[in-house]
Amino acid sequence: MKIILLLALFMTISNAQSIRPIRDNVGFCWTASDMDNVISFLKKDAANEKSFPSENLIAAISPHDDYLYAGRIYFPLFQLIHAKEIVIFGVTHGSVRKAMNDPKNILIFDKFDKWQGPYGNVDISPLREILKDSLPKSEFIVSNKAQTIEHSIEAMIPFLQYYNRDVKITPVMVTEMSFDKMNRISNDFSKTVENYIRAKNYKLGKDIFFLISSDANHYGKDFNNSPYGLDKKAHSSATARDKQIVKNYLNTDITNSDIKNLSEQIWNSKNNKNVIPLWCGRYPIVFGLSTIKKIAKNIDNKNIEGKLFKYSDTKTEGVLKISGTNLGTTAPVSYHHWVGFFSAGFYLK
């Protein structure tokens, strides 16, 4: 009897460990009723807002800030995404870097069987294990610890699952690396994904979609980042800088030069004399765009064109008055502490 009980306990623990735990239960929705209320509010709120086409949309950049701050920026994007599978390029935030001895020059995968979502557990695409088997071992690590600490990928799941209860994900964290190193890993990554797409007879955008998780500038004393000052004028200058970068390098036909130049605008390049905004997704954006561009070319022989959906920031948005949820905010907001964010789509062209 004792052996049976111990075996049952072991199986229970093993099963519990196979499902990724929730990192942020304050800023994001983890019950169906909460997420239903958020979408209901955002639908009404956006009734007179500009809409964007879903045709030929194959990839996007989304914020991962609190829903009560960034809900209006998530919404115009996620209502367009209905693909079976989503490859999500996430950030390696400072909390992960500190806990993991600052990993660099690699991708980070997990080995959880499922991830939690507000409408039930989310399945992992077979693509994740194929990537592990195909990529050179020097290009990635597998760490449930890293993925458990990181919140930039889980932020996508409630919105994705609202529009597709059966969605499958491939979570990929991107660490700091040089542009050349990133390009080499991107080549290997894209080839594996292309083979998977062909084997499954998938259509870009319809069957598989690529999502890059990134907030924009993190501004103020708490981030040791206030080159323009700490007042209304500084806020205007810093958000204008964000918008200019998006306009020049993301709201346009995406060329290899654009991607390289974008890296110089948002990375700490020694050659960059401009004020560098503190974008937390600066590595996932460059890696993601490099990869997506290659896949679009090799699968459909097409380029990609970026379109900005919406830009804002926590100081401008304030806290959305969404009732009937357990949502909260995970950080304060003032001219001394605010975060920018935007959503953008990338279309086959």
pLDDT band at 268 (very low <50, low <70, confident <90, very high): confident
Whether residue 11 has pLDDT greater than 80? no
Mean pLDDT of the chain: 94
Q: Tell me, what's the pLDDT at 257?
A: 96
Q: Any residues with CB less than 8 A from the CB of 155 and at least 6 apart, and which?
A: 24, 27, 28, 62, 63, 64, 65, 213
pLDDT of residue 10: 42
Query: What's the whole-number mean pLDDT along residues 164-168?
Result: 98
pLDDT at 1 over 80: no
pTM, to two decimals? 0.94
Instruction: Report pLDDT digits (tens) over 297-343.
Output: 999 999 999 999 999 999 999 999 999 999 999 999 999 999 999 99
pLDDT at 8 over 90: no
Q: Is the pLDDT of residue 6 over 60?
A: no
User: Residues 228-258: pLDDT tens digits?
Assistant: 999 999 999 999 999 999 999 999 999 999 9
The pLDDT confidence band at residue 272, using thresholds 50, 70 and 90, is low
- The helix-helix angle for 282-300 and 179-200 (nearest 10°) equals 40
Domains and CATH numbers, the chain: 2-348 (3.40.830.10)
Q: What percent of the chain has pLDDT over 70?
A: 94
Q: Which of 37-51, 66-80, 260-274 has the lowest mean pLDDT?
A: 260-274
pLDDT in tens, 105-134: 999 999 999 999 999 999 999 999 999 999
Cα 142 from Cα 34, distance rounded (Å): 32
Q: How far apart are alpha carbons 308 and 211 in whole angstroms?
A: 14
Q: At 269, is the pLDDT very low, low, confident or very high (cuts 50, 70, 90)?
A: low
Predicted local distance difference test score (pLDDT) of residue 273: 60
Is it the case that residue 2 has pLDDT exceeding 80?
Answer: no
β-strands 107-109, 304-313 pairing: unpaired
